[in-house]
Amino acid sequence: MLSSNDAALIADHAFDADLEGWLHPAQQALIIDRGWLRMLAPRAVGGFELPLPEVVRLEESIARVDGSMGWTVTLCAGAGWFGGFLAPRLAREILATPKVCLAGSGAPTGYADREGEGWRIDGLWDYASGAPMATHFTFNAMLRENGQPLLDAAGEPRIQAFVVPAALVEIVPRWRSIGLRATASHAYRVSGKWVHADHGFEIDPARACSDGPLYRFPFLAFAFVTLAANVAGMAHHFVALAEECIGHRRNRFGGQGEPLIEVPAVRAALDGARSALAGVRERFYARLDATWAQVAEGAAVSEEDAAQMQALAMEWVNASRRAVDALYPYCGLYAAREDSPVNRVWRDFHTASQHALLLPFACSGQTATEPL
């Protein structure tokens, strides 16, 4: 879990980071010093390979303090998880990089043309959270040979993941979202750069190069639980700040102008939001802990278990949406001020919850088809 000293440091610099559009140097140093970007990478190649439930709880606790910090750690540490699917020699080389940080995008908005023992890469990708501190970038690209798409067994274009050093990448600074400003989730371009075939990899438990339980956990379920914990962490922060806002307001429609927080409907909204979030959170972690225990014992995650994990993650996200949207109207114009903490958290929450994976219908058993 996050220590009180680390939480204080993160909080102290959150306003300036949001204003500047990138994490404060002290926040960046904390991320590196704590090794948070290595926590999901294989131990054998220089990572920490921590249990997934421990990682998710840490990511949630960071997001409870600052959404941009939590999101950056989660997305960049998640890219470090790809080390379990890379050739060990390359993974070891990457993890040996000073202040290593992997950033990237899942959308297949580029091409990889076969050339000799490798691929010639061309493309532009969006939303690389943590781009300014990235030492390496990951992305998905459509494969081609002699200008023609390579097809899979179903006749669909083949898509493969790649990792390349930052020296081959041009950052395109166009992150202008209302929230998560300090994640600096800029676009990036690779223009005609060649990489060896070893830089391509598949995110599939059957193709993992490391045999730890982390790399037997299905990617989609992994993505859902880490993103949901961030969104819920931001919602928890918002509820706490909303109560503070409401506590300073008066009910202008009450006969005696009583404190707004004492109005039964308002108190019920606050208590209901907290209760709903706490209830889903408890069931979410119970399921995650149980699923992880099975994987740690050598079992595979069944499709049913993965679907249940995904559904609980989305239930937590949707409960977070309801809590934030229910309480915001009671917070007054102060919550609309761009320089207020409650507004920053509101902006961060509504930006994070727009992630393509977190469409509201996902908890119904359907999944998003838009690239992550």
Domains detected in the chain: 4-95 (1.10.540.10), 104-206 (2.40.110.10), 217-364 (1.20.140.10)
| φ, ψ for residue 320, nearest 5 deg | -65, -45
Strands (E), the chain: 102-104, 110-115, 118-128, 136-145, 148-149, 159-165, 170-172, 186-196, 200-201
Residue 131 has pLDDT above 60, yes or no: yes
User: Would you state the pLDDT for residue 257?
Assistant: 77
What CA–CA distances, in Å, run from 55 to 52, 229, 258, 318, 321?
5, 10, 44, 22, 23
Residue 370 has pLDDT above 90, yes or no: no
| φ, ψ for residue 173, nearest 5 deg | -75, 90
- Asked if 72 and 23 touch (Cβ cutoff 8 Å), the reply is yes
> CA triplet 86, 200, 75: central angle to 5 degrees?
65
User: Would you state the pLDDT for residue 368?
Assistant: 39
User: Would you state the pLDDT for residue 252?
Assistant: 81
Q: Quick one: average pLDDT of 307-324?
A: 97
User: Would you state the pLDDT for residue 268?
Assistant: 97
- Bridge partner residues of 200 (DSSP): 162
For residue 161 the two structure tokens come to 């993941």
Reported confidence tier of residue 1, pLDDT bands at 50, 70, 90: confident
Residue 15 has pLDDT above 60, yes or no: yes
Task: Return d(Cα 241, Cα 351) in angstroms, integer.
Answer: 18
Reported confidence tier of residue 148, pLDDT bands at 50, 70, 90: very high
Give 248's contacts (C-beta < 8 A, 6+ positions apart).
none
Lookup result for tokens 């977190």 = 358
Q: What is the pTM of this model?
A: 0.95
Residue 190 has pLDDT above 80, yes or no: yes
Dump pLDDT digits (tens) for 43-56: 999 999 999 999 99
- Asked if 125 and 138 touch (Cβ cutoff 8 Å), the reply is no
| φ, ψ for residue 340, nearest 5 deg | -90, 145
Q: Quick one: average pLDDT of 186-208?
A: 96
Q: What rounded mean pLDDT belongs to the chain? A: 95
**DSSP annotation string for 5-45:** HHHHHHHHTHHHHHHHTS--HHHHHHHHHHTGGGTTS-GGG
Q: Quick one: average pLDDT of 358-363?
A: 74
User: Would you state the pLDDT for residue 258?
Assistant: 87
Residue 323 has pLDDT above 60, yes or no: yes
Dump pLDDT digits (tens) for 243-271: 999 999 998 876 567 899 999 999 999 99
- Asked if 242 and 269 touch (Cβ cutoff 8 Å), the reply is no
Task: Return d(Cα 190, Cα 188) in angstroms, integer.
Answer: 7
Task: Return d(Cα 158, Cα 144) in angstroms, integer.
Answer: 8
User: Would you state the pLDDT for residue 365?
Assistant: 44
Reported confidence tier of residue 96, pLDDT bands at 50, 70, 90: very high
- Asked if 27 and 17 touch (Cβ cutoff 8 Å), the reply is yes
Dump pLDDT digits (tens) for 224-244: 999 999 999 999 999 999 999
Residue 371 has pLDDT above 80, yes or no: no
Q: Quick one: average pLDDT of 325-347?
A: 97
User: Would you state the pLDDT for residue 90?
Assistant: 98
**DSSP annotation string for 139-196:** EEEEEEETTEE-B-TTSPBPEEEEEEEGGG-EEE-----SS-GGG--EEEEEEEEEEE
